[in-house]
Structures are given as structure tokens and as C-alpha cells.
Amino acid sequence: MDSKVKKRQLQQYIGFGILGACALFVVIILFIILYDIAVKGISTISWSFLSEPPRAGMTEGGILPAIIGTFFVTIITAVFSVPIGVGAAIYLSEYAQEGWLTRWIRASIRNLAGVPSIVYGLFGVALFVNTMSLGASILSAGLTLGLLTLPWIITTAEEAFQTVPKAYREGSLALGATPWQTIRRNVLPYAFPGILTGAILGISRAAGETAPILFTGVAFFLPQLPGSLTDQFMALPYHLYIMSTQHHAIEAVRPLAYGTALVLIILVFLLNLTAIILRYRLRKKYVR
């Protein structure tokens, strides 16, 4: 064989090998993390761990208040960020003319996505806890996480709108539909799977955040479950942080920390799985 051909083949193998190794590296890291947490956490998980509050200075008992807290905060996050995010995405994708205002809004959204989450926490204290007098509460924390999620939801929803063929929009307008009728009947339904997937992924990420809820409502320990949206709450990521670094007997509660981590990961995984299944089903409905 020609030596030039051999050299090209060698280059091909080396290039392919390096790229493959990069991809494999990511997968290996993920599995090491999951394996470590699963092995160390699985023995802690029982019905009582999931259904009881912590006892004896959080050295015994379960994590029910943290699960409940994370659940309600996540709902507030979703209720706040999905409608506003999708609304903003509709405006940007369907109505906004390209101009300085649109560019300015897009740049702001992109920058917002890059703001560290602890800064969102501080902003949440200033705006929701103090200025709007919502106090440290489920509401304040949920709204703060909502702000954190907004740029993600706007961006993914806008991308979902961009995938709707132009022919659907023009076909609808050419039949005398108003722009709003076109969006509601001929754009939104087809962008919906993408919007939903993006929203769930964004919210599942928010559910695992610690910094934004740190000052806005999460509590170290609460003897009872929250009774209203203006109460403080416990949350899984913060509970994990406490159990791993702030507890007076860190070594003794290590299994509880791993159990908490496993529950948190499973919850996030379930949310992501829901997104995948929904997307698959809805896509099938509209396949060409």
C-alpha cells in the first residue's frame, strides 16, 4: 500500500481514538459517581427513611421534610418560570423584529444564564425576602430558583419554536389566520414536545440547587412539615450539604448523607426520564 495512504489511515485511527476516549471518559466519570453513591446509599434507603423526619439531632430517622420541601419549592419554580419563560420565547421567536431591543433582550438572557447561582441567592434575599416581604419561605426560594431557570427555559423554548417549519406558519397566515391564531394552532402544538423537555430538564436542575435557596428559605432543621408557602422548609440538596459538612458527627451520619444523595439523584433522574418519555411520545404523534 502507498505510504501516503497508510499515513492518512494512521491519522484517522489516532484522531478517532482520541475523540472516542474523550466521550468514554465522560461516561466513566458519570458511572463512577452513580456507582459510588448507589453502593453507599442503597443500604440506608427504606420506607422509614423516606417517610419519617430526622430524629436525635439528625443522626437518625429519615428525610421526609426535605423531600416535601424540595417538592413544593420545585412546583413554585415551575409555576413561575414556565409560563413567563415560554411567553418570552414566543415573543422573541414569533413577534420580535430584529433590532436593538431584541438583541439587547437576547444578550441579557444569555448573560443571566451565566450568573453564578449564589448571586441569584443574594438577589432573591434582596427582592423576594426583603423588598417584597415574602420572608424566608418556600415562595421566596421557589421564585429565586424560577429566576435561575428562566434563561434556560427561554432558550430551549425558542429553539423548539425555531424547529417548527416555516411552511406551517406561512400556510396558516396565507389562509387568513392572525399571527396569534397561527402561533396557538400551528406553532405551539409542534414546539410543545421541545418546550416541555426543556422545561423539565431546567426544573430538575433547579431542584438540585443549593446556593439560591440558602438565604431565601431553606432551614437547617425543622421539627414539623411546612404548613404554608410562607413557611421555611427543608430541602434535599441543602440537607445533603449539612449532613456532609456541617453536622457535629459527620462520620456517623455519612450513610444518611449518601442515602439523601441517592434520593436526590433518583428524583432528578425520574424527572429527566419523564421528559424523555414525553418527548418520545409527543414526537411520534407528529412524525412525518
Partner 1 sequence: MTSTAKVETKNLNLYYGPNHVLHDVSVQILPNKVTALIGPSGCGKSTLLRCFNRLNDLIVNTKIDGEVLLDGKNIYGNGMDVVDIRRRVGLIFQKPNPFPKSIYDNVTFGLKINGIREKKRIAETVEKSLNDTGLWEEVKDRLNTSALELSGGQQQRLCIARALAIEPEVILMDEPTSALDPAATFKIEELVSQLKKKYTIIIVTHNMQQAGRVSDYTGFLYLGKLIEFGKTNDIFTRPKEKLTENYISGRFG
Return residues touching partner 1 (CB under 8 A). 97-98, 165, 167-168, 170-178, 181, 185-186, 190, 286-288
Grid coordinates given for 1: 500500500
Grid coordinates given for 256: 444518611
In DSSP terms, 55 is beta-bridged to 60
Q: Which helix (H) or strand (E) holds 228?
A: none
Residue whose CB is less far from partner 1, 93 or 210: 93
Dihedral sign for Cα atoms in the order 93, 96, 100, 101: negative
Contact 41, 262 (CB under 8 A): yes
Closest CA to 208 of 86, 117, 84: 117
Residue whose CB is less far from partner 1, 128 or 190: 190
Quick count: other Cβ atoms within 10 Å of Cβ 165?
Answer: 12
Residue whose CB is less far from partner 1, 11 or 181: 181
Output the smallest distance, CB 104 to partner 1, in A: 17
Output the smallest distance, CB 174 to partner 1, in A: 4
Tally of CA atoms within 13 A in the half-sphere of 218 that contains its CB: 34
Output the smallest distance, CB 105 to partner 1, in A: 16
Residue whose CB is less far from partner 1, 175 or 249: 175
Output the smallest distance, CB 288 to partner 1, in A: 5
Output the smallest distance, CB 184 to partner 1, in A: 10
Residue whose CB is less far from partner 1, 51 or 178: 178
CB burial string 82-117: b at 16+ within 10 A, e below: beebbebbbebbbeeeeeeeeeeebeebeebeeeeb
Output the smallest distance, CB 166 to partner 1, in A: 9
Residue whose CB is less far from partner 1, 22 or 167: 167
Q: Measure Cα distances from 264 to 19, 34, 70, 71, 111 in Å.
A: 32, 12, 9, 11, 28
Output the smallest distance, CB 134 to partner 1, in A: 42
Closest CA to 116 of 210, 238, 12: 210
Residue whose CB is less far from partner 1, 99 or 227: 99
Residue whose CB is less far from partner 1, 81 or 186: 186
Output the smallest distance, CB 283 to partner 1, in A: 11
Grid coordinates given for 85: 419563560
